[in-house]
Each structure stands twice: as C-alpha cells, then as structure tokens.
A and B are shown apart, each in its own frame.
Chain A
Amino acid sequence: MDPITFSIIRHRLFRVVEEAVITLKHVSGSAITNEGHDLMVSLYRADGSLLMGGVGFLHHLTSAAEACKAVIRRFSGRIEEGDVYLLNDPYTAALHTSDIYLIAPIHHEGRLVAWSACFVHVYDIGAMNPGGFSPESPDIYTEGFSSPGIRLVERGVLRQDVFDTLLNMVRSPEMVALDLRSMIACNNVAKDRMLALIHKYGVATVDEACAELIGQSERLLRKRLGELPDGTWRSRQFMDVKGEVHRVELAMTKAGDSLVFDFTGSSPQSRHAINCTQWASLGGLFAPLFPLLCYDITWNEGVIKPITMIAPEGTVVNCRRPAPVSVATVGAIQSVNNAACATIGKMLSASELYADEATAVWHANHFAIFMFGRNQRGGQSIGILTETFAGAGGARSFADGIDVGGEIPNPISRMANVETMEAAFPIRYLFRRRMIDSGGPGRHRGGAGCELAITPHDAPDGGLHYVVSGKGAEFPMSDGLNGGYPGAPNSYIWVHQDEAGGDNRDARFAKALDELPGRKEPVTWGVFPLMGKDALYVRWNGGGGYGDPLEREPARVAADVHANLVSAEAAQAVYGVVLQADGRVDEGATAERRKTLRRGRLLTEAAE
C-alpha cells in the first residue's frame, strides 16, 4: 500500500470518528454526554470487526463490535442501505440496558462496506429504579427495555412505531428521544464522511488501507509483547454489596507475542446487579489495555487478535441470564478493568524498556449516584452526581498519581461545577475538596480522591431521592504497584441531622463530616431520601501508590502533610516520617522510625 495515501486515509478515519463525536454531543445536549463524556463512537469493518476506536468510554469498543456481529447474524440478507439498528441487551453484546447501541451499516453502491456504532447512557430505560442503574432489580427482566437487535430506522425512515414503543417504557421520554436522535445524527455524519473518503480514494484503496491499519496494529502490539518478559501476573479484586463479598480473580499470562487473561476462580454470579456478561468483561479488560499497551497504536481489531480471555460461565464476570447486570459498569466491569490494569502494570514494571509506562490502579471504586425529584423551579430533575467521573490517578514509576485526575477507561471525563449542580438540583454543597489520606501511600503517592457533602436547599418537596449503587466502601480497590499501598476505600453516609433537632447554625455550614451532628448511617445500595436538614456525605477513593512508602523522600511526605493530603498519623505509621512541631521533618526520629517499621516487617514475615 502506498504509504502516502495510507497516511492520509488513516488521519481521515480519525477525523470521521471525531466529527461524529461532535455531532453526538451537539444533538444530545445532555450533561452526562457532554460533561461526563459517557459516550463512544467507533467505526467497524463490513464483518463487524473494530476498525477505528474513538476516545470515549473504552469499555464499549469491543462490545459494540460484538453488537455489529449480532446484528449481522440476526438480519443476515436483510440489511439495507439507510437502516439503523438498536441493541442494548447485555446478554447479546451490551454492557447494561441503559447504554444503548445504535448501529448503522455503510453501503457503497449497494454493497455493505463498513459500520458505524455509537452509544450514550440514556436518561432512563424503564428499569425499577430511575436513571439506568437499578440496584433493587433482582433480574434482567426488571432492568427495563432490552433488545437483542431491532431495526429502528428502515431504509432511511424512522420506524415511528418502534420509537414510540421504546419511549412509552421510559421515564423522561423527551430526553431519551433526544439521546436517540443524537445517535442517529452521529451515525449519519460518520456515514457521510466515510463515503466521502471512499468517493475520493476508491473503495478498493480504502478497504486496503483499513486492512493494512488492522494488520499494522497487530504487528505493533505483537512486537511490543515480544519485548516484554514472559510470565504470569495475578490480581484479585473484592466487591462488597450489602454485606456480601465477591471476588474477581485474574491470572494474566504473557507468552511470546500473545496475552491470556484468565478469570478462573472468580466468585459465582451475584443476586445483586454488579455482575457482568462476557462481552462486558472483554470490554472491561480492553479499556486499560488500549491506553496502557497501545498508546501509540491505532485501537482496532489488530489489537484484539493477540488477546484471549477465559471467563468461566456463571461467575460475576460471565453471568448467566437472567442475572441482573444494571450496575455492571461500576461493578464487575470496573473490577475486571482494575485487575487488568494491575496485571499490565506489573508486567510493564518487570521490563526495563517499559517500566516508565507502569501505573498503579486509577480510580477503581467507580460509583453511581442518580438524584431525582422536584427541583426549586417546580420541574422534575433527574441526573447523575458527576463527581464519579472526577476520579484519581494511580502513582507511576516516575511520579505521583494525579489528584482527582480521572480514570483510565474514560480518558476525557470531567465533573460539573458546584454551581452547575446547585442550579440543576434543589441541593447545597457544604464542601468539596481533596480527601486526606485517600491516595495510596508509596514512594510515589497515589492521587487523592475527594469528599463532599450535600443537603437539600429550596426543595419544594423538602428534598429529593437518590439511587446509590456504591461498592468499594469495605475494601480498597485501587491497588498499589511494586510495594505501593492501595488508595483508601469509598464512603457513602446518610447524616440524620433532622433527628439531632434544633437549629445548629454551625452545622449548617459544617466544613467536615465530624462537624455534622446526627446519626451517621452508611448507605451503599438502593434508593434513599435526602430530606429536611439531612446530609449525604460521599468520599471517593484515591489512586494506588507505587513503590515502598518507606522510600519516599521525607520532605515530600512533610509537604503532603502540610497540604492536608496526608495526616501526621499516617506519615508516621505508614511512611515512617516523624514531623516536628513546626511541620519540618525530624530526621533522627524518622530514620529510627523507618528502621523500626522495617524490622517489624521482617518479624511479621518470620512469624508467618
């Protein structure tokens, strides 16, 4: 293939995806799509294999490929120019029902030449609980509308009956209609630009460039794998839901130029909706693999070929129908993604060539809090607490993790301003700040997470309700690397201030959880009220640390203490750094303290 033409076509394929993403955001106009960037657009070849993955929620790149293939199987021989298919059944290909795929074939002169696919998290899908995450659902049947593949647009004409049927089953149908329209427009732009490319260079040349692009990615990844050491690396993730503990076990084996991810040993599927299907697990392990191993390689089918996944059926990572899965994207998928990030980090750090690419786990305890109720203007508000997208960076071999630095599977997320949230919901924030001792200790510290508290404000009904699908409160999940400690766990606390009575003026402007009076009840799962003077306190995890905290320069620990990112107690207990009254390092006491801690480790090991 002519390298000049190849270079031009490759660049243009990127732009096709970019322009489609712009269209998606424009037409949708929703906060979760535009602020959280909870979306994905990608191009697929005629057989449904991934051609060009865009920067969106990376869990979806491979699942949408499977969705294309499922549509090809179901509608074989009847796929027409101008059709658009909808698929959101997790047992067919999707992650959970509220992440709807719209898939459109691209025909050139009557022949199917490619597919475009996109998703957004729709406002609602008609599950038991509003907003898509439905922690109270016992099974897939109560998780709302679910289709293994349906024609939404037929030869360019919207099937109004299908459209109306779907809208008839959801809360906030106007918003869902807009979400669907945005996806149709997005696929149209992808198709127009793809056809313009074919028109200019010819279908054969573009096809050859696409095949070459995939071949190139495969060659590059295989070469990289060849440069990395052989071996097996393990990771284990715990998920706590309502007192039950589930495990995701991963053994990643690299041999030669291929990688096997084996989840054998993971817990049996749960009755709670944290499970995920096999396609979701595959998406979960590719989400970190793309940016960690393929940061300079085009994300397509070629990257998928050297990878094998083993996920035993009936487990949390490959559940059987009708297990509930609505919380999968912050549940088992996230754990798969964390475990893969951990094993890839271990492999990279075992290589001199790639050690500087290794990272501890970022923002592992993803959570979802959907608020709903009547707002200060009398209308209905429903929406997500976008703080879940704020994340926290894992520490790296050369630097600390980035405080509140996002996450790996969604490279361009962000959270909303406090003023945006207070305008949209009848709530007031008491504080929102980085959380002390949340970043995993290490020679390089994990990035800090945050804490916040909200309370009703000007709510016509006295407050609102929220759906919380929060795990990660019992166990830390952002694993450290090479001796680094994990980031702190999450916390979700209902502060019953109403019970405390009175009008404590200080409490109205509390600066911290311990200044809030009233019973503090942990809430992690289900629908809860936020009424009267009550408050909801949320804390999210920091990233994992890198290297032994006893090797961190004491001056940097002192600086963290000064910046309120590490407590003096943790400095002493975990980092072995003793500070003087003026905040400076007590060199002598620190050396002594670190010696004692090291001796203690040897004694512990000897005792074991």
Chain B
Amino acid sequence: MGERARYIVASDVGGTCTDTVVFAAGEPIHLGKALSTPPHFADGVLDSLDVAARAMGLACTALLVETALFVHGSTVVDNAILTRSGARTGLLTTEGFEDTLLITRGAYGRWSGLSEDRIKHPVKTDRATPLVDPAAIKGVAERVDYKGAVLRELEETSAEEAIRFLIEERGVEALAVSLLWSFYNPVHERKLRALIERVAPGVYVTLSSEVAPVPGEYERSSTTVINAYAGAISRDYLQSLESKLGAAGYRGPVMVMQGYGGLLPAREAANLAVGMIESGPAAGVIGARYLGRLMRDADIIACDMGGTTFKVGVIQGGAFGYAREPLVDRYHYAAPKIEVVSIGAGGGSIVALDPETKVPRVGPQSAGASPGPVCYGRGGTEPTLTDVMTLIGYMDADHFLDGSIKLDLSAARRVFDEKIARPLGRSVEAAAFGIYRIAAAQITDLIHEITVERGLDPRDFVLHSFGGTCALLSATFGRELNVRKVIVPYTASVHCAFGLVSADIVHEYTHAAVLPVPSPPEAVNDLFAPMVERALGTLHREGFAGDRLSLDWSIDLRYSRQVHEVTTTVRAETPLDASGLVRLVDDFEALYERKYGAGSAYREAGIEMTLFRLTARGLMARPTIEPASLNSPDSSGARIGRRAVYSEAKDAMAPADIYDFTRLVPGNLVAGPAVIHTPITTIVVPDAQTARMDALRNIVIELG
C-alpha cells in the first residue's frame, strides 16, 4: 500500500444491488451502486467500484491503488442456501443418532421461522428439505460422555468404509462431522478429519467442534452441515474477489463482515461460511451503534424498512444482543449472530380486506419490486403501502427517487378506491390514512414485543430510521412507543456500508464447560489461557498490538435447573482473582432479574458457569465525520412548495410545507405538518412535531 493510500472502501452485496462507499478524511462520501451478479457476485463488486470511481473522476485502478482498506459484506452464503446451490454434502455422526438432523428436535424444525398465522394451521406446515440427502448420513462407532470421557474408541476401519461409501457411492463433495459431546472432547472428530484427508484429500470438511463448539447436538450438527454445504462457495468466492481486486491494483487487506458484527480477514472468513450469514443486517446494527456513539446515544432501536421487510435491532448501553436461536432460511444454526428481527412489512406490502369480514390487513404478502405497487405502473394490480403513501400525499408522485420514476397516482387511486375505500364506505384519503395507522400500529407491536423479550422499556431509547420506507412511518410509531427521539441518519442511504467501515476485527472464541459457583479463579483462568494465547497470536499476525487490540472475557451463567443462560461480561481485571469472580456473579444476578423479571432468580439451586467466551478485537481506523457549525433555524431556503397531506389532527387532507433535504443546512428547524424529500427516502414530520437538522446532517425529531 502506497503513501497515498487514503481511502477506505466498503462494498455491501445485497440480494438486488451491490453498494460501494468510498470514505476519505475531509472529503464527501462517494457512492457506487450496481446490480448484484449472482452467482458470480465478485463481478458486481467490481462493477460498483467502477461506478464509484467514475463518480470521483477516477479509473477503478486509480481508486484501488489509493485504497488502504477494503471492507466487505456479502449475501453469498445466504444466497447459496436460499437457492439450494451448495455442495453435495454428507454427514458423519455418532452411531445410533443418525436421524438427529432429520428429526429437528421434533416439531421444532416444522414451526420455526413461521408466522403465528401459519403455526395455527399445522396441517399446511412442513419441514424444510434437509441440506443433506438422508442417504448421505452415516453413523460411526464411537462414544464420548457428558464429561468428555471416551466410552468407546472410534472404530477407524468402519469409519473409513463409511467415508468411502459417502464419497464413492453418494458422490459427496463436502463432509460435515458432528459427534455427540465433541465440544468437550474433539478427539474423534479430529481423527475422522485425518481419515478423510487421507482417503479423499479434495473433499471440503467441517468439524462441529470447530465451527460450533457448544452443547446441543441438533443445532451443532445443523451448523456443521450448513458450513460444509456452503463452505466451498464462500471460499471460492472470497478467493476470486481477492484475486480480482489484486488484478485491479488493490494491495491492502480484504476484511469480511460476520453475522456477529465483527470483521475477519478474508482468508479466515473463507473457512467459516456460517459466519457470513445475515452479515448485512449485522452491519446495519454496527453502523447504528457507531452513529449513536457520535451522537452520544447508547440506547438505540435501529429500524430498517424497505420494499418487503421491516427489520429491527436493539442496542442497549452500547451493546447488542445475540439471537438465541438463529435461523437461516428455516435451518437452525448455533453461531453468534446479532439479533435482528424482521417481519414482512415494507412499501410493497399488499393491502387487502378479509373477504369475509372486510377487516383490512397490511401484508404479509408483498408485490415486491415486480410488479410492485400500482403507482409504479409496472403491472401491479394490488394496492400496497407505497400506494397508500402517495394517496395521503406523503410520497410525491413527481419526485419519487429523485424524480427517476414518475408515479401513476390516478391508477393507485382507482385501484385503492375499488378494492379498499369503497368496500369500507370511506373516502380514499380517510381509508388510506386508516391503513397507514394499521401499518404503524403493527410495527409498534413488533418493537414492543422485542423490547419486552429483553426486559427493556422503549421510553429509554432513541429510534434510528433507515431504508427507503421507514421515515414515512417512524415519527408516528416512534411517538406511540414513546421513544425519546427519532433520528433519520444522514448516512441512511448507505447504511450497511457505513456499518462495514465502523466495524472492528473481531475473533470469537468459546469453550464449553460446567463450573459451579464458587470455583477457584484459577479454574476459570485456566480455561481462558489457551484462548488468550490463540487470540494474541492471531491478532499479532494481523498487525494489531498495544492499544490497537482488546480482549474481552465473558461467561454464560445460569441458575442450576434453569434453562436461561445469560452472557455476562467480565468487568474486573483479567486474569480473574476471587473478588473479580464475585463481581461477575453479582453482575449476572442483576442482569438476570433485569431480563427475566423481578423474582425470577432461583438462588437456592446454585449458580453454574457453562460457556467461556473470549472476544478478541483488533481496532480499526474509522472514517472521521466532522460536525458542521449550526446555522439559523430558518429553513425557508429549503422549502420547495406546499401540498395537501393527510393531517391526523384535522382528520382530513390539509396543506403542508414540502422541503428538499439537500437544501437544508445544520441548525434548520422544520415544523410539522411537513414532508422532507431526500434523494432516497421521504421523511414525514407529523402535526405538532418539529424536526431539526443536527451538526452531522441527521434529521432529528424530538419526542420525549
């Protein structure tokens, strides 16, 4: 990397588009957007780099030569699973338990990932087809017990036969190895890998003790299978991306976003396909946390709403939670993943009346991007939430997406009137506003449930509003949730990419073992020592040392005979001494009652430590964002007109001021009712609320 390397480049590959963002100190953010190019996603990355470079007046090579760091997020693994395009995979498991993956802990695999409506209709439910052909699952004779003791040695001769059978008879290209209790004692899994490497050196192998060293054989096996299934794809993809970037002139490291919100160097990420699952939404949460730091908000509800989905993640005290039972498609996996909950609600959500009761409903069906809402004029015949937004004047038919698409308001009106308003016996505008209220109420209910799940009170939070559709609704549901304020970030349009550049290198290490409380501190320190040694070795190799690395210890604790485990951060000096351990247990008890409610602690049964986690961070340089100086509150310079929008107070259409976001300057105030158009979204400022542009050019609506 040369002296002039000054750019940080982030590329985020989504299902439809690949976004590239270029940051450099003291320069505006440059953006490149190109269509994603499945299954050869690397091409789309280069395309979007090219677009960004051209916007800067550079050749792609010139940009990459001056780039110090390339950060990357990709849906390549999600895509391999959704399209079932992974490797032909086999599974080796403990004899007698060959069906574990197929029976999914009973009905768990049948109802997981389904909406409540579908759960209530069991006759029409099914499991997802397993990623492993049931005929490609073989048991091997071996047994380890609950404390890691070998009860039965691995029979290597029959194991070798099983491996040959899977490869020669079943034609598998990848092998998952998942044995009972292997996370306590991986000896047999390692022997199997050695056997596979000898018998079939080209076959991709994943061991459960490496990819998911945690208790629970069903989830561990499922994770192992997913990793083996998509492993070759993620490895080949990242290799091809690295070599293409190299050919185009890039000489720096390629960092890849993980579902837990940290980056891994591409070489490491290549063998951890499960790590890349849902890394886009994770980047979104990381971006929200960074923005929160800049704005001194530690408690954030981060909402993202686009065409089909509403996603929400919660940051509390600057920390986020991990999903307890993550799913990809409908497959369970056990890997740390930032909790992001989604429902089928977006601009494309179809609005319909129940044929029997005439009760209106928003979603979960979506018109998607094609045919899309009626007002797009691309053949959509069902009214959608986007149509509703145009009918109540919130979206401007002439200025949608910077005027790139002209909306057909009269078609939207005709269809909505016929299918919704007339059957309800209401005017088009009144019915449309009613639908708007329903959508806002459903989102309110979702967020409320998520905060209850974590024992939180939304009134302590600020709400970040990302995505093309969210700011149309966020002031309304934010008010109903009683959050302190709603923030529509300046970076909303490039949010995931913003998250990528605000992430650190993070390596997660875990060790499962049950230790009672109290235990001597040495017992805990002995478990961490090998993890610390590995982490330091890795981070040093990656060039991190001194104050550019941090090691955080945390431990999962539970009350004996209770199922809830709480990951508790070690706040004392490490290695631990006796008082540090006492402090950890105190923290656990406080956290437990906060999350599960007063009176939920069961101290009489005793406390156990069950999982020991080391989070090793290499701290990355961040793009700096300089706050601007604040101007006068007078926003008249950005006012571009007046138009009728629905007013809840008047319960009728009424004139409102319309503003151009690009002409607002920090310090400006916008009094509701008003609508602010940005190049990618529309911000509705309801009656009696006031929005201001802050020094970072975010739009802030104070509610509390």
Contacts and interface: CB of A to CB of B under 8 A. Distances in A.
Interface string B92-111: 00011111101111111011
Select the residue from A376, A415, A562 with max chain B CB neighbours within 10 A. A415
Given A27-B599, A291-B123, A399-B126, A19 B452 contact: yes
B597 A27 contact: yes
Nearest to B111: A412
Given A411-B120, A511-B96, A34 B103 contact: no
Contact of A422 (B110, B145, B602, B605): B145
B143 A509 contact: yes
A336 interface: no
Given A403-B102, A419-B146, A450-B103, A411 B111 contact: yes
A422 B514 CA distance: 13
A357 B438 CA distance: 30
Contacts of B438: 4, 7-8, 11
Nearest to B441: A8
Given A4-B360, A182-B600, A429-B96, A15 B448 contact: yes
Nearest to A434: B99
B215 interface: yes
A18 interface: yes
Contacts of A433: 96-99
Interface residues of B, number: 77
A358 B134 CA distance: 28
Given A19-B448, A34-B563, A292 B123 contact: yes
A31 interface: yes
A465 interface: no
A35 B452 CA distance: 20
A357 B123 contact: yes
B122 interface: yes
B399 interface: no
A14 to B, nearest CB: 7
Closest 7 CB pairs of A and B: A406-B107, A431-B96, A390-B106, A4-B434, A414-B108, A295-B121, A29-B562
Given A417-B216, A418-B97, A55 B119 contact: yes
A154 interface: no
Interface of B: 95-100, 102-108, 110-111, 116-117, 119-127, 134-135, 141, 143, 145-147, 151-152, 180-181, 215-219, 356-361, 424, 434-435, 437-438, 441-442, 445, 448-449, 452-453, 455, 514, 559-564, 595-600, 602, 604-605
Nearest to B118: A295
28 contacts: A3-B424, A4-B435, A8-B441, A15-B445, A19-B452, A22-B449, A26-B455, A26-B597, A30-B561, A219-B356, A290-B120, A295-B123, A389-B107, A390-B107, A403-B102, A404-B103, A406-B110, A408-B122, A412-B111, A412-B119, A417-B217, A418-B100, A423-B146, A432-B96, A450-B99, A458-B146, A509-B152, A511-B95
A121 interface: no
Interface in A385-420: 387, 389-391, 393, 396, 399, 402-408, 411-420
Given A3-B359, A15-B449, A433-B96, A29 B437 contact: no
A457 B180 CA distance: 15
Given A34-B563, A430-B96, A415 B135 contact: no
Contacts of A404: 103-104, 106-107
A407 B219 CA distance: 22
A204 to B, nearest CB: 19
Contacts of A429: 96-97
B359 A390 contact: no
Nearest to A28: B600
A418 B180 contact: yes
A7 B360 contact: yes
B136 to A, nearest CB: 12
Contacts of B599: 27, 181, 184-185
Interface residues on A, range: 35 or more
Nearest to B440: A8
A6 interface: yes
Nearest to A172: B561
B216 A420 contact: yes
A26 B596 contact: yes
Contact of B563 (A35, A55, A220): A35
A430 B215 CA distance: 18
B135 A562 contact: yes
Given A412-B111, A419-B216, 10 more contacts: A3-B359, A223-B356, A390-B107, A402-B126, A412-B119, A417-B215, A418-B217, A432-B100, A434-B99, A508-B152
Nearest to A3: B359
A501 interface: no
A428 interface: yes
A552 to B, nearest CB: 18
Contacts of B135: 562-563
A185 B597 contact: yes
A216 B152 CA distance: 62
A299 B121 CA distance: 12
Contacts of A29: 559, 562-564, 596, 600, 602
Nearest to A357: B123
Contacts of A415: 105-106, 108
A592 interface: no
Contact of A413 (B107, B121, B356): B107
A178 interface: yes
B482 to A, nearest CB: 11
A208 B595 CA distance: 35
Nearest to A396: B123
